[in-house]
Structure 1
Amino acid sequence: MEKPVAAADSGGSGTPARGTSKRTSRRRARRGNGEGSVRRRSTGSWEARFAVVDAAGQLRRQSFFAPTRREAEQRLREALSQRDGGVVAPGPRETVERFLATWLEGVKPRLRPNTWARYEEHVRLHLGPTVGRVPLTRLSPNDVQRAHAALLGRGLAPETVRRAHATLRAALQDALRWRLIASNPAALVRPPRAPQREMAALSLAETRALLQASRGGPLEALWVLAVTTGLRQGELLALRWEDVDLEGGSLRVTGTLTRVAREAPAEGQPKTHQVIAPPETAHSRRRVDIGSLAVEALRVHRGRQAEERLRAANLWVDKDLVFCGPMGGYLHRDQVDRQLKRLLAEATLPVIRFHDLRHTAATLLLGRDVNPKKVSEMLGHSTVAITLDTYSHVLPGMHRQAALIMDELLSDN
């Protein structure tokens, strides 16, 4: 009489049921051609293997290891789905540098021009020379950490290294999502800590002194708008007259002036040029009210610009810019920065960056108890929390004022 064979355990332990031979267990692990295979190793773990065509067109076998058969089969199904969906595994010669070059071209259509330019710069100057030759699948956290040390040893600022690290992490996250690598080594490494930059802002008296020094100058309206609206430098230099409503006392932020690489520069042509790109975030695209001080400064500025346009005649380049060069073209940031430095020197004020005029606007408003939500909307912050965190040094006075108001409301006297 034939002895019955016990049914196999359907759980994830991977242990054949009693009475089932190892040969029978191996037969069950075999699959059809192209479906891969799952087998138990001598160590007790499970291995899933399948064939894949790599980026070089070579047929290679890949393996995944798991503690249980069920998990190995699950990973095999996911890998086969990726393979059948068109994902190509990196070839043995696929280096980090080659992957990053391909990745840059792939993400270019969905990134803002200046964002892509920063990514490309980090890849070319910082990532390629440090981890570029490492095979993509062999890049380790130690490799990333050594790259940090090398870049810092070259004298790069910690903030620059942090940004290069962020670029590498974003690229490897895509590689992980595409199943080209098993884990993201950059996500396992902490970038160097950047020193906290102390915020600079002009006081009310200093702001008045700056505006007084700019009185009658060619960019007077620029300085007035900077300290009354808190617009970013790029937003001001991209401002068009069609976005300004002098009668209604408002303006619309619809773009930002940025510098990007030319696609194919001609001989003798600069490698970069200025363009108006979309705002940084959806909240950056906004409507901002302006007061009579700004409206009057803009009226005078428009009249002066009309005279310059007449003098330039057919040499004028009409871009409808509020703030432009002598012939209507874009102003350069370094020109504006030099003008600011000169004004600060004339008014005997401390040296600050253009962006500090934005801090000045926010500080002056919050110091007069203007609702932080309104200030946040004016600045184009994505959340009011960013405004509160950035300008927390201004808020203690507001807290004290709130306590005094509460006493006044509830006091018996």
Structure 2
Amino acid sequence: MGRVFLGYENGKQKRHTIYGKTEAEVHRAAQEFRVKIEAGAFAPTTRDCKVAEYLEQWLEIYVTSPPLAPKTVKSYSEQTRNHLIPSLGSIPLRKLSPKHVQSMMKDKLASGLSATSVNGVHRVLRAALSQAVKDRQTVENVAKLTKPPKVTTRAEMHFTQPELQKLFAAAQGHHLQYLFCLAPYIGLRLGEITGLRWENIDFPNQTLRVRNQLQWVDGKPTLREPKSANSKRVLPIGELVEMLQSQRSMNLVNGWENKMNLVFVSSTGNPLDPKLVNKHLKILCKKAQIREMSFHSFRHTTATLLLGAGEEAAEVMNMLGHSQISLTVNTYGGVLREAQKRAASKIRKAIDHGI
């Protein structure tokens, strides 16, 4: 056994103890440890803690204080306490291996958890372990060395033009008629369109400013800033202002109190719960005799139709408020490839005809 002197902390000597089978082995390990310390590389100087202990510390220090968005805090806390701690909590943090993480994900899938949910659990663990590396609590982020389950892209879940026509017809007279009719033209997220306020509509210039998103936390509606800087955007709406004017007339005729000054509200004038919106949409899809889809399919519809019409991916990224163009390309790669094939065919025809 050997000890490496690390100076003083709070007036007391700080040492790191090393064990080995022989004196030479301990001496060599001590030298390597000191080199790591002097080079600023990771070298654990504190006791190892269990994964559960570190995750609880991570939630308290980095997630809830200073607080992230309430929806994010709730999601991180639930996934940590419902999945990560029960599965990995008893393992010492520095002994956590890729095999542990991969087995955890396999077990979650076997228990019936969806691939999308397992990916979410993996993302939370990866974020926590990245901070553990920065805190010098562990050597590397083993979650990065694992492969989460493949999630089937939802990009193909979009309304076709005939389906939209049938849906619009079925929505006539419904209190959310203009919400569903406007959605495929502008591609807003559900929280963005339900958080849209009248002061965000510029009728003279025919533009719409995305400045808020409506979130429900512990059963209460709250307006928050969009999820990223790119999500704050101004969209031209042209003749769509007529829909919004009709919506404003509906609000005035019904005399809804509407304290948040929201554009779209429930049949009682209250902020819209996302579950209620999707419930009404599915009812209207059934009435129109088309495939039942969620509100998010409107967003996919906007992107798919734009890219299919030859619009640049960068413009679609800006319209959707994606933080990176890679997100747009990865999500709608299939549509882009089809658009590129058509463009290549046009080039060949142009050259063949001697332009």
TM-score when normalising by structure 2: 0.84
Distance of aligned partners of 1:115 and 1:47 in 2 relative to their CA distance in 1, 3 Å threshold: farther
Alignment partner, residue 370 of structure 1: 311
Shift of 1:245: 1.0
Which deviates the most, 173-182 or 29-38? 29-38
Contact 1:113 / 1:277 at 8 angstroms: preserved in 2? no
C-alpha distance in 1 between matches for 2:6 and 2:147: 43
- In the alignment, is residue 97 of structure 1 matched against residue 97 of structure 2? no
Q: Please point out which of 117, 120, 139 is paired with 2:77.
A: 120
Contact 1:130 / 1:150 at 8 angstroms: preserved in 2? no
Alignment partner, residue 12 of structure 1: none
1:344 match: secondary structure: helix
Shift of 1:82: 9.6
Shift of 1:134: 2.7
- In the alignment, is residue 303 of structure 1 matched against residue 245 of structure 2? no
2:137 match: secondary structure: coil
Q: What are the residue-to-residue correspondences of 1:153-232 with 2, within 5 Å?
A: 153-197=110-154, 199-232=156-189
Distance of aligned partners of 1:144 and 1:402 in 2 relative to their CA distance in 1, 3 Å threshold: closer
Q: What are the residue-to-residue correspondences of 1:72-151 with 2, within 5 Å?
A: 72-77=33-38, 89-90=46-47, 94-107=49-62, 108=64, 109=66, 111-151=68-108
C-alpha distance in 2 between matches for 1:373 and 1:187: 29
C-alpha distance in 2 between matches for 1:208 and 1:255: 29
**Counterpart code for 1:290:** I
1:216 match: secondary structure: coil
Shift of 1:285: 1.2
Shift of 1:376: 2.0
Contact 1:229 / 1:288 at 8 angstroms: preserved in 2? yes
**1:330-365 Cα distance to aligned partner (Å, 9 max, x none):** 111111112111221222111112111111122222
Contact 2:42 / 2:136 at 8 angstroms: preserved in 1? no
Q: Which consecutive residues of structure 2, in runs of 5 or more, have no partner in the other structure?
A: none
Shift of 1:323: 1.0
Q: Please point out which of 223, 245, 266 is paired with 1:276.
A: 223
Alignment partner, residue 213 of structure 2: 256
Distance of aligned partners of 1:246 and 1:376 in 2 relative to their CA distance in 1, 3 Å threshold: same
Q: Which consecutive residues of structure 1, in runs of 5 or more, have no partner in the other structure?
A: 1-25, 49-64, 262-271
C-alpha distance in 2 between matches for 1:384 and 1:37: 47
Alignment partner, residue 11 of structure 1: none
**Counterpart code for 2:59:** L
C-alpha distance in 2 between matches for 1:235 and 1:47: 62
**Counterpart code for 1:408:** A
Contact 1:38 / 1:46 at 8 angstroms: preserved in 2? no
Contact 1:35 / 1:80 at 8 angstroms: preserved in 2? no
Distance of aligned partners of 1:150 and 1:351 in 2 relative to their CA distance in 1, 3 Å threshold: same
Which deviates the most, 365-374 or 170-179? 365-374
Contact 1:237 / 1:256 at 8 angstroms: preserved in 2? yes
More relative contact order, 1 or 2 (CA 8 Å, 6+ apart): 2
**Counterpart code for 2:310:** D
Alignment partner, residue 404 of structure 1: 346
C-alpha distance in 2 between matches for 1:318 and 1:346: 32
Distance of aligned partners of 1:206 and 1:148 in 2 relative to their CA distance in 1, 3 Å threshold: closer
Alignment partner, residue 152 of structure 1: 109
- Structure with bigger helix share is 2
Contact 1:367 / 1:398 at 8 angstroms: preserved in 2? no
TM-score when normalising by structure 1: 0.73
Alignment partner, residue 238 of structure 2: 291
Tell me how large the CA RMSD over aligned residues is. 3.2
- In the alignment, is residue 355 of structure 1 matched against residue 296 of structure 2? yes
C-alpha distance in 2 between matches for 1:389 and 1:329: 37
Q: Percent identity?
A: 32
Shift of 1:257: 2.0
1:288 match: secondary structure: strand
C-alpha distance in 2 between matches for 1:198 and 1:37: 54
- Larger Rg: 1 or 2? 1
**1:224-259 Cα distance to aligned partner (Å, 9 max, x none):** 221101111111111111111122111111122223
